[in-house]
């Protein structure tokens, strides 16, 4: 491929990357890139075409793709969400457990403060030291969780960029190959 042709392909694909799209599987299940008004626009074709299409906007025009092969390719591109969703759910469960643990520590701290006036100073000091160690453990676990969430966020951002790049290429091919039908 010549440099000029390669540059034109990159420019045209980059232009498509900005275009909103909605994969409409059925009335309740969609995957999209863009804002909610695009979702409303895409769903309006359900009555006419039924479920199972890709809607997108490019150069001020709206298009619909119902080609089975292309839709399977689109599904493959958007299916990458599952792995990060599972990891995100695991991190969320760990975060909830840490929050519960933190609440228990706060309850223990309140009990120790009430105990201060009437308790043996040595027992009180030992209880406070244990509480401090437990709080340090929670803090370390929260820091570890935070790093894992940051790492997941970076991976999700990278996956999202890759998905948009692949979708732009599929949309460009659909327009180029005449598989995208202009709708009004």
Residue 42's H or E segment, with its range, is helix 36-43
Question: How crowded is residue 148: how many other Cβ atoms within 10 Å of its Cβ?
Answer: 15
Going by their DSSP bridges, the two strands 53-58 and 21-24 should be labelled as antiparallel
CA dihedral 113, 119, 121, 122 (to 10 degrees): -110
Give the model's pLDDT for residue 117.
Answer: 67
Q: Name residue, tokens 């034109």.
A: 8
Instruction: Please state the pTM of the whole predicted model.
Output: 0.62
Tokens of 84: 């990060």
pLDDT tens-digit readout, 50-67? 999 999 998 889 999 999
Cα–Cα dist 105/79, whole Å: 41
Question: How crowded is residue 89: how many other Cβ atoms within 10 Å of its Cβ?
Answer: 10
pLDDT (average), residues 91-109: 83
Tokens of 94: 């760990």
pLDDT (average), residues 111-118: 73
- Name the nearest CA neighbour of 104 among 78, 79, 130, 124: 130
Q: What is the mean pLDDT of the chain?
A: 82
* Least confident among 66-75, 114-123, 169-178: 114-123
Contacting residues for 63 by C-beta, under 8 A, at least 6 apart: 55, 56, 57, 174, 175, 180, 181, 182, 183
User: Binning pLDDT at 50, 70 and 90, where does residue 16 land?
Assistant: very low
Query: Given a cut of 90, is residue 182 above it in pLDDT?
Result: yes
Q: Which residues of 33-66 are buried (b: 16+ CB within 10 A; e: fewer)?
A: bbeeebbebbeebeeeeeeebbbbbbeeebbbbe
């Amino acid at each position: 491929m010549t440099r000029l042709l390669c540059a034109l392909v990159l420019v045209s694909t980059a232009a498509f990357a900005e275009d909103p799209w909605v994969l409409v599987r059925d009335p309740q299940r969609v995957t999209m890139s863009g804002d909610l008004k695009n979702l409303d626009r895409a769903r309006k074709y359900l009555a006419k075409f039924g479920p199972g299409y890709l809607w997108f906007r490019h150069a001020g025009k709206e298009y619909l793709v119902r080609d089975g092969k292309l839709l399977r390719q689109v599904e493959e591109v958007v299916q990458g969400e599952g792995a990060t969703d599972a990891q995100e759910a695991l991190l969320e469960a760990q975060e909830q457990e840490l929050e519960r643990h933190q609440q228990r520590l706060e309850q223990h701290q309140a009990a120790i403060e009430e105990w201060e006036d009437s308790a043996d100073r040595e027992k009180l000091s030992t209880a406070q030291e244990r509480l401090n160690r437990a709080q340090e453990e929670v803090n370390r676990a929260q820091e570890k969780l935070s790093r894992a969430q940051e790492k997941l966020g970076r991976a999700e951002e990278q996956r999202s960029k890759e998905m948009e790049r692949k979708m732009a290429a599929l949309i460009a091919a659909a327009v180029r190959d005449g598989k995208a039908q202009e709708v009004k």
